[in-house]
């Protein structure tokens, strides 16, 4: 059970230039894929350029972007609630995994699943910071596994990965994703990796 609802406070400026609170409450966009009850993506904010143009007032950016990966040249910050999945991850067939990926803007990742690994293995062309706010989570890579406890953080550097909750309660994580570009050599290695996995059924 998560201790409290997500609260987001957004500041800005009034016509005189004075700093004011523009909004205070739950974020307006929360994605809850029906394929995995308890999974929730709380979209807090995003930017679409670096440096980002700072204006007095701004239209709600989460109205424009809900995908997992950040906008090109931009950033995303979100809170994700990950429900208990058991010791082997959720029992998804390939079509269910594909439908969930599509729901969160990661449709192309349906082909990255590693046989025998978590069905939601995915990769984004970004540098991501993940912080465990509540609970425990296991980060899965091709073969490595890392158990992360409350307060731990991970720097996710464009690797294929999945998050799995092997506990009996929801884990809450904070993610900040920053858009990136794969080095040409790394992109070639990733393509070879994906082909090898697809053809042989293992890493």
Evaluate if residue 87 carries a pLDDT over 90: no
Evaluate if residue 26 carries a pLDDT over 90: yes
Cβ atoms within 10 Å of 107's Cβ, excluding its own: 14
Q: For residue 151, what pLDDT is reported?
A: 98
Mean pLDDT of 61-70: 92
How do 137-140 and 126-134 pair as beta strands? Answer: unpaired
Distance CA 77, CA 71 (A): 11
Give yes or no for a contact between 119 and 180, defined as CB atoms under 8 angstroms apart: no
Collect contacts of 167-171 with beta carbons under 8 A, ≥24 apart. Answer: 167/84, 167/135, 167/136, 168/84, 169/1, 169/84, 169/135, 170/1, 170/2, 170/38, 170/81, 170/82, 170/83, 170/84, 170/134, 170/135, 171/81, 171/82, 171/132, 171/134, 171/135, 171/136, 171/137
Mean pLDDT of 48-66: 92
Mean pLDDT of 72-94: 90
**Domains recognised in the chain with CATH numbers:** 29-200 (2.60.120.10)
Q: For residue 101, what pLDDT is reported?
A: 86
Q: For residue 199, what pLDDT is reported?
A: 81
Tell me if residue 148 falls in helix, strand or coil: strand
Distance CA 89, CA 85 (A): 5
Is the pLDDT higher at 1 or at 96?
96
Q: 132-180: per-residue pLDDT in tens?
A: 999 999 999 999 999 999 999 999 999 999 999 999 999 999 999 999 9
**pTM of this structure:** 0.91
Q: For residue 1, what pLDDT is reported?
A: 65
Stated as kind and residue range, the H or E segment containing 100 is helix 94-103
Distance CA 184, CA 194 (A): 15
Report the percent of the chain where pLDDT is more than 90: 72
């Amino acid at each position: 059970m998560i201790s409290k609802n997500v609260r987001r406070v957004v500041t800005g400026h009034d016509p005189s230039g004075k700093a004011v609170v523009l909004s205070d409450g739950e974020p307006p966009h929360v994605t809850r894929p029906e394929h995995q009850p308890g999974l929730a993506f709380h979209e807090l904010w995003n930017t679409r350029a670096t440096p980002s143009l700072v204006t007095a007032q701004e239209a709600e950016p989460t109205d424009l972007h809900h995908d997992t990966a950040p906008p090109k040249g931009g950033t995303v910050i979100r809170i994700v609630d990950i429900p208990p999945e058991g010791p082997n991850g959720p029992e998804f067939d390939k079509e269910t995994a594909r439908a969930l990926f599509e729901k969160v803007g990661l449709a192309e990742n349906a082909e990255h699943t590693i046989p025998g690994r978590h069905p939601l293995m995915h990769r984004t062309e970004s540098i991501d910071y993940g912080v465990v706010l509540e609970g425990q989570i296991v980060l899965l890579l091709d073969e490595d596994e890392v158990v992360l406890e409350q307060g731990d953080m991970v720097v996710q550097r464009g690797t294929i990965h999945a998050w799995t909750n092997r506990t009996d309660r929801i884990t809450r994580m904070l993610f900040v994703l920053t858009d990136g570009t794969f080095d040409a050599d790394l992109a070639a290695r990733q393509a070879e990796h994906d082909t090898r996995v697809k053809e042989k059924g293992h890493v």
